[in-house]
Chains A and B, each alone.
Chain A
Amino acid sequence: MTAVPAASSPPASLAGGRSRDGIVTMVRYGLRTHRWALVGVAFLGFVSPYASGSTYLAAAGTAAARATFGRQTIALGPQLAYLIPLPLRPDTVAGYLWWKGLTWLTLVFAAWGLAAATGLIRNEEERGLLETWLASPLGRARLVLARVAAFTLAAAGAVVITGLGTAAGVASGKASIGFGSLVEQGLPLLGMTLVAFGVGLVAAQLATTRRGALGLGAAVLLAVYVLDAVARVNPGLDGVAAISPFHLTDLTTAVVPGGRFDGGATLALYVTAAVLIGLAVAALRERDLMAGLLRRRVTATPVVRLPSKNPLLRLPVLRNLWQQRLGLVGWVVGTMVGAALIVSLARGTGKLLASVSGFNRFVQAAGTNSAETAVVSSVWLSIAALIVAAYAINQTSHWAGDDAEGRLEMEIAQPVPRWAVVAERCATLIVGALLMAALGSLVTAAVAPGQGVHLDTGRLLVATGLLALLALTFGAVGALVIARLPRVAVPVLGVVAVASFYVPLLAPLFGWPSWALNLSLFHLYGTPLTTGVYWTGLWVMVAIVVVGFGGAMAAMRVREVGR
């Protein structure tokens, strides 16, 4: 007679080997979901320190030049302290590389961690994948831990590549760095990334949508980032800032000559990450699928049988903007805050630039004699160009989503010409980018006089319009790629943006011909506030827009649609 196993003991196949197999499968799947982000972050992680290191000798080739450059950078540091830590030993290639090439990467890695965690829980939950995973004999805790392991592996890979970029950057500056220093610098970066991942995991248990989780997590990370930024310029707040993981990360400066590795701070990062992940696991075990941990009491609402009366939903372009209204508000407010912040630093930064002979070239390159105007023209508008480019990439991501999630099929099933779908996307992008650029410029115009900057209204308008054209240029590249390869459009645009950012930096360094600068979409934008329209750039952008959206319309006419 065969013995019947007790009901309480799970079959050996579930408790043993198959469960381990499930974990391995989940880790593999997790690595697969992170692969594109890993490529992008690792690319930035390598290029940023490498470019900083390689440009150092061009800026300061001799010992005397390094000493001068170091003093000037130390003087400039406090002006940028709200964005990145104060410089340390900028008279050395490794010190400059840490300050310019590495510190800002903390934000990139944190953003990745947050996005990955909210995607892991909420996005997969919305797509029904989490339900499938949970139907397997894996268990909620093991599922999350398997995915944490996958992300840790991916993040560690990106940190290693950043270390390689750092070593290569230092070497290109004719200096050397020890392996131990690279490891010590990488440890807090990985820890910070895992903290952001933990914040995202916890946020995903509280909010009920990916967007909500992303917003909640971003708000938490922004708050601790601002705390760290404020503490940088107010040393009295150092004690309070210790609760900021960004602050704990900044405390390690192992790659800087004479820098240090703060073991306690690094350990605190990993402990924080572990606690957050533990909280998230506990919350996931407690909550219902498709619901947040904190559920609102269900209240009886009258049944609705009628369509929405919202007129915006019925009008081309406005219907898309209305659907994206929360995101658009975020983009616009971000642009306005950025404008207010950067332009409000114009006087102080300008004075510094004017007082330091080494920065005269920067002012002259901006095409003005006013250092304050140069700050607005070259610093703020460069950042604004990056913001509108990011907005265009975000729109491209929406278009790819329309395709993958069946909305494009539904749209084309209506009596709408296919070219009109592309035209409406183009118009939506123009309106959104113009709104961001116009309100950003309005803030610029309002803040600039207080900083002693007198802006030419006509040129400010032109600069604003050209920002929208720049966004459209990125959008055109995205539309063209989406017509053939919708899934890779966003990564391709990311590469175009990063390449566009670095080409102007690397071209003088490697003696590239002047036409090569026009390969950068940001270079095509020029410095319209101070030197007027860069006509070559304008026509190249117009050509890209015409070819991109024209090609996308033609491709949309012949391409097949459907999942």
Chain B
Amino acid sequence: MDVAIRTEGLTKDYGEGHGLFDLDLEVGVGEVFGYLGPNGAGKTTTIRLLMDMVRPTRGRAEIFGVDCHAHPVEVKRVVGYLPGEMPQWGGLRGRDVVAYVGGLRGGVDSARVSSLAERLDLDLGRRYREYSSGNKRKLGLVLALMHPSRLLALDEPTNGLDPLIQQEFYRLVEEAAAGGCTVFLSSHVLSEMERACQRVGILRQGRLVQVARLDELHHLRYHRLEADFGGEVPLELVRALPGVEDVAVEDHHLSCAVRGGFGPLLEVLGRGQVLNLVTHEPTLEEVFLAVFREEAEPAAAPAGKAR
């Protein structure tokens, strides 16, 4: 695999447990990689380290084989960047901001800007301070996408965008990836990952806890089962089954989480009088929450209680 982003032991220690720790990560060329984690997990710190905004406490990061810290200008030539928080441009109009930032790169492709503004429905004639938060985000996307880039580093790109524009953004990401561009996007919105990414890295308290393809992530999934009984619930038998967790009974209603096959459970349930039986697959969000379950509750089942 040709590597677009490689980090080795990348650490930014802000003290008191804050920051990013020992990040070993590889993102392939042309890949759309989702970087998932709750607020404060270290997503923005990672992107800022890649962009050489902040300096690592230890470890290293490379983009297309170029050290981000040693040769930041070379790196930035091929990266389109969307910061997590948009800068304040005050009274400048959107078109002025585009020309200004474009000028820093030596020029701007007007046709590309026009196309992006059209697709994102952004009026560049208005003053920046008059923009809503969504329009500010759209301008940020125009600035990130207006140059031909080999890598897009997008920090929470859909924040504040309405659903229609979000769909347009996903199409832009797909087009970029189809053109060979690598996309590294951070988010705490799981549906965004499902919609746009091929692989996902899950970050928690500054540490990468899992990297997986979306379909691999689905293997982590379990099913919830709920059943209504006409008589006694065979509770102890159910609890004794391997792979069955989070068992709860209220009146004649049973609910539990099931990993692996259903065969043994159905056999046990068949010993009672089942009136109604429903199973459903947990969302990625439930999986996500399971991964992020507090260590203080290790015995708890990975299921819908937390929803």
Contact = CB atoms under 8 A, between A and B. Distances in A.
Indicate whether A and B interact: yes
A306 B113 contact: yes
Interface of B: 48, 51-55, 72-74, 76-77, 79, 81, 83, 85-96, 98-105, 107-108, 110, 113-114, 117-118, 122-125, 129, 143
A376 B96 CA distance: 42
B53 A409 contact: yes
B10 to A, nearest CB: 15
A126 B88 CA distance: 10
Given A305-B113, A308-B95, A562-B48, A406 B88 contact: yes
B124 A412 contact: no
Contacts of A305: 113-114, 117-118, 122-124
A38 B50 CA distance: 42
Nearest to A407: B87
A314 B87 contact: no
Given A315-B103, A406-B87, A415-B73, A302 B98 contact: no
Nearest to A559: B55
Contacts, number: 114
A307 interface: yes
Given A307-B124, A560-B55, A313 B100 contact: yes
29 contacts: A126-B90, A211-B91, A302-B125, A303-B123, A304-B95, A304-B125, A305-B114, A307-B98, A307-B99, A307-B108, A308-B98, A310-B99, A313-B96, A314-B100, A319-B100, A319-B103, A407-B89, A409-B53, A409-B83, A410-B87, A410-B101, A412-B51, A413-B81, A413-B83, A414-B101, A414-B104, A417-B73, A560-B53, A563-B85
A301 B103 contact: no
Contacts of A323: 92, 100
Interface in A525-563: 558, 560-563
B88 A304 contact: no
B54 A560 contact: yes
Given A308-B96, A310-B96, A416-B73, 18 more contacts: A209-B91, A304-B123, A305-B118, A305-B124, A306-B110, A308-B95, A310-B99, A313-B99, A315-B103, A405-B87, A407-B88, A407-B89, A409-B83, A413-B83, A414-B104, A414-B105, A558-B55, A563-B85
- Between A308, A314, A418, the greatest number of chain B beta carbons within 10 A of the residue's beta carbon is seen for A308
Interface in A196-210: 209
A288 interface: no
Given A409-B83, A562-B48, A307 B110 contact: yes
A406 B82 CA distance: 12
A309 B83 CA distance: 25
A409 B110 CA distance: 24
A411 interface: yes
Contacts of A563: 85
A432 B88 CA distance: 23
Nearest to B100: A313
A483 to B, nearest CB: 14
B165 to A, nearest CB: 15
Contacts of B55: 558, 560
A561 B72 CA distance: 13
Contacts of B72: 418
A211 B94 CA distance: 19
Nearest to A307: B98
Contacts of B51: 412-413
Contacts of B89: 407
A414 B105 CA distance: 6
B83 A410 contact: yes
B48 A307 contact: no
B64 to A, nearest CB: 14
A307 B124 CA distance: 7
Nearest to A558: B55
A407 B96 CA distance: 14
Contacts of B104: 411, 414-416
A366 B89 CA distance: 46
B118 A314 contact: no
B76 A308 contact: no
Given A307-B108, A323-B92, A406-B88, A314 B103 contact: yes
B129 A209 contact: yes
A313 B94 CA distance: 13
A413 B76 contact: yes
Contacts of B73: 415-417
A126 B89 CA distance: 11
A308 B51 CA distance: 27
A130 to B, nearest CB: 13
A313 B124 contact: no
Nearest to B91: A209
Interface in A395-426: 405-407, 409-418
A562 B86 CA distance: 11
B53 A562 contact: yes
B200 to A, nearest CB: 25
A135 to B, nearest CB: 16
Contact of A314 (B91, B107, B114): B107
- Between B96, B98, B99, the greatest number of chain A beta carbons within 10 A of the residue's beta carbon is seen for B99
Contacts of B96: 308, 310, 313
Contacts of A562: 48, 53-54, 83
Nearest to A125: B129
A163 B113 CA distance: 60
- Between B85, B90, B103, B107, the greatest number of chain A beta carbons within 10 A of the residue's beta carbon is seen for B103
A311 to B, nearest CB: 9
B103 A313 contact: yes
A408 B59 CA distance: 25
A526 B125 CA distance: 49
Contacts of B113: 305-307
Nearest to A411: B104
